[in-house]
Chain A
Amino acid sequence: MRKILCGLAGAALVVFGAAAANAQGTVKIGVIISYSGQFADTGAQMDNGIKLYMKQHGDTVAGKKIELVRKDNGGIAPDVAKRLAQEAIVRDGADILAGFELTPNALAVGDVSAEAKKFMVVMNAATSVITTKSPYIARTSTTTPQLNYTLGVWAAKNGIKKVYSMVSDYGPGIDAETWFQKGFKDGGGQIVGSVRFPVANPDFSAFIQAAKDANPDAIYIWIPGGAQPAAVGKAIAERGIDRSKTKILGQDALTFESALQGMGDLGLGIITVSNYDFNHDSPLNHDFVKAYNDEFHRNPDIFSIGGYDGMHLIYESLKKTGGKTDGDSLIAAAKGMSWESPRGPMSIDPETRDVVQTVYIRRVEKTPNGLRNVEFDKVLNVKDPAKAMKN
């Protein structure tokens, strides 16, 4: 009896919800981001990217009005994320789920997307397996293996023979370590030592000293953004690492804008890998950055571009389905879509629904505008190696 009641209630809600949505011609997008807490800044940047896209392209697509339902995840809280997704669908009538800077949250919501058959766009979370959680997930950011494997291979092919690797001791860091070391070894290099820092580590002095003792050609460092990159830069200088002999390699967070401001000239020469930097030299990007500056008075970053391109994917998919919002139509439309983004060319792999894009190798240099990540090498059409190697 309970099951029948549940079923009836559920069916009624779905029918009502769908009827309501179609009657007004609205498409609701449940945006689940951390607007508060430790990750509030990444959330704000992602939201800015979304807002800018909507400002530039209007809020009507394929005859339907786009409405955002914002939900604050408040940091790492997969149970909350799951609840917010369920509420977005049940309470607010959301047709599409978007956002997700953090892997645990994205993984939890994946279940909801699969069960409710809703199109889900991951705009930042970078762990490879996320897209396998539901057949309706597409990603517009990057994956950790995509960036770090590429860096590893590049480093081995560009004269770096011995590397000391240091990463933050948690999921993304360990992921990065695994794939960088794999790429580096595949390219013929040798890892002379490796260490994992505690996650909330304020002082890197001891670790940097140990790295110096091992005398490598390069030190590979993976840390999340926030206060740590500047602290690392200072520790490197303070412990007297000779930058002409030892290169510093890392992923984008190491040389984010705020990190460079904190490090100052200590940051010069650090080589990082990323899928986007606001310094990227293309007319499309220059326009994007200018619009972003005008609107938000700061520069866009990887979170902003993830949000911006995520909205692009949603808009274009809706145009392709003619306004149909069920998961099957939207994901079919999203698969294989390719476009020119401010970051460069990108597409959604039809098999894995993950992002395929250009990966850039950059170096921190002094430009007339100050310290910037200047792209000096790149690899085109990089797929996520974790999934590619499985096949």
Chain B
Amino acid sequence: MTTETFAGPQDFFQAQLRWHWIEIAFWLAMLLPFVLTPNYLVLASQIAITALFVLSLDLILGFSGIVSLGHAAYFGVGSYTVGLVSKWGWGEPLTGLLLGGIAAGLFGYLTSFIIARFRHLALIMITLGIGLLLVEAANSASWLTGGFDGLQGIHTWRIFNTFRFDLYGYTAYGYSLAVLFVVFLVARRLIHSPFGLALRGIRENGQRMPAIGAATGQHIRTIYTIAAIIAGIAGATLAETTETVSLESLGFQRSADVLVMLILGGTGRLYGGLLGAIVYMVARDQFSGLNPQYWYFWIGLLLIAVVVLLPNGILGGLTLLARRLKVAS
């Protein structure tokens, strides 16, 4: 850890916000699929959307210490909002994102009042319970949501009246990547701010924070709502690019998957979540292509290997490696 001295808090944040060359390289690399692997663009688009979803979970779990097993609830709310709006006649993608985000944010705000009061196992189970209840409600309200069969009749209009969502996925990936990047910029700015530091304080020692005057409850509710908005935007993007929405957008499987991806990549570092999403989804795609019946086995081994060998997730391991290389040279 390099020790720098700063003239004041503003300088500290300025330093944090400076773009590291690796970050620039990462985002440029995200453009490579257009050129190198044009047959995989649909997969890339879904990875970008999932990465956005993992990012939203990182904000509450990695940075604030709130473990949620029901985060897909907000993803699903975003998806269904866009789906319904499109079905009822308005399929404009960008406003759709806004609507999805707002709806999910509202739901997140309401639930944050319950969430903020609990920790540990009770919190995990409550988030799980809320998620499961929402799935049951969506199933029962099949007149609205299409139930088991999923929402039909979604049609997304062209972006800026020019780009059509095509079979090959060019537009889908471009769109998803753009959404991911923009939201990422916002999240990055948020984290490197006094608010972001307060969150980390809450994660490390929630009981001490009020002693230094931090409004813990309010901070938690704020970040939870923001995370819900982002999850909703991710869900909305999925609904728009695939023109399908179904119950599993809200379901436990999706909540569990996103948690696994975040831990895999490394929590509390923004890029960890993105890396985790990429690695997990590519691995799953490749394993299931090689071995459709038993790919679970290889994914399980991958998870075990990462936990045993890389204690801070993949990003943690890479950072360690980089540090070792720097020391060696």
**Chain A interfacial positions (CB closer than 8 Å to B):** 2-3, 6, 9-10, 13, 35-36, 40, 44, 70-72, 74-80, 82-83, 86-87, 89-91, 103-104, 107-108, 111-112, 115-116, 127, 129, 169-172, 174, 198-199
Contact = CB atoms under 8 A, between A and B. Distances in A.
Contact of A87 (B39, B244, B295): B39
B306 interface: no
B296 A36 contact: yes
Contact of A104 (B38, B148, B295): B148
A129 B149 CA distance: 10
Contacts of A112: 167
B170 to A, nearest CB: 5
A36 B291 CA distance: 10
A171 B138 CA distance: 12
Interface stretch (B139-147, B187-195, B207-215): B139-147
B140 A89 contact: no
Interface stretch (B40-48, B51-59, B116-124, B176-184): B40-48
Contacts of B238: 79
A70 B292 contact: yes
B288 interface: yes
B65 to A, nearest CB: 31
Contacts of B296: 36
Contacts of A36: 288, 292-296
B234 interface: no
B12 interface: no
B167 A90 contact: yes
A108 B244 contact: yes
Interface residues of B, number: 39
Contact of A89 (B150, B152, B167, B244): B167
A104 to B, nearest CB: 4
B6 interface: no
B168 A174 contact: no
Nearest to B37: A91
Contacts of A198: 136
A172 B150 CA distance: 12
Given A91-B39, A172-B148, 4 more contacts: A75-B253, A83-B43, A104-B150, A104-B244
Contacts of A78: 150, 242, 244, 246
Given A36-B296, A76-B246, A174 B142 contact: yes
A79 B292 contact: no
A86 B163 contact: no
Nearest to B154: A111
B167 A170 contact: no
Interface string B252-284: 010000000000000000000000000000000
A91 B169 contact: no
A72 B244 contact: no
Contacts of B152: 107, 129
B167 A171 contact: no
A170 B296 CA distance: 27
Contacts of A115: 167
Main secondary structure of the interface of B (DSSP, over half): helix
A169 B139 contact: yes
B166 interface: yes
B92 interface: no
Contacts of B167: 10, 86, 89-90, 112, 115-116
B72 interface: no
A94 to B, nearest CB: 12
B248 A111 contact: no
A127 B42 CA distance: 27
B146 to A, nearest CB: 8
Contacts of B171: 6
B162 interface: yes
B166 A10 contact: yes
B149 A127 contact: yes
B139 A104 contact: no
Nearest to B247: A76
B243 A107 contact: no
Contact of B149 (A10, A82, A103): A103
Interface pairs A-B: 5 shortest CB-CB: A171-B148, A35-B292, A72-B292, A170-B148, A91-B39
B26 to A, nearest CB: 24
Contacts of B139: 169-170, 199
B237 to A, nearest CB: 11
A115 B294 CA distance: 32
Contact of B288 (A6, A72, A104): A72
A79 B166 contact: no
B293 A35 contact: yes
B246 A90 contact: no
A313 B194 CA distance: 66
A9 B170 CA distance: 10
A285 B152 CA distance: 38
A107 B150 contact: yes
B67 to A, nearest CB: 24
Contacts of A76: 148, 246-248
A348 B171 CA distance: 37
Contact of B295 (A72, A82, A129): A72
Contacts of B42: 83, 86-87, 90
Contacts of B46: 79-80, 83
B162 A2 contact: yes
9 contacts: A2-B162, A2-B170, A10-B166, A72-B293, A76-B247, A79-B238, A103-B149, A104-B148, A116-B167
Contacts of B40: 87, 91
Contacts of B148: 76, 103-104, 170-172
Contact of B168 (A3, A13, A108): A13
Nearest to A110: B152
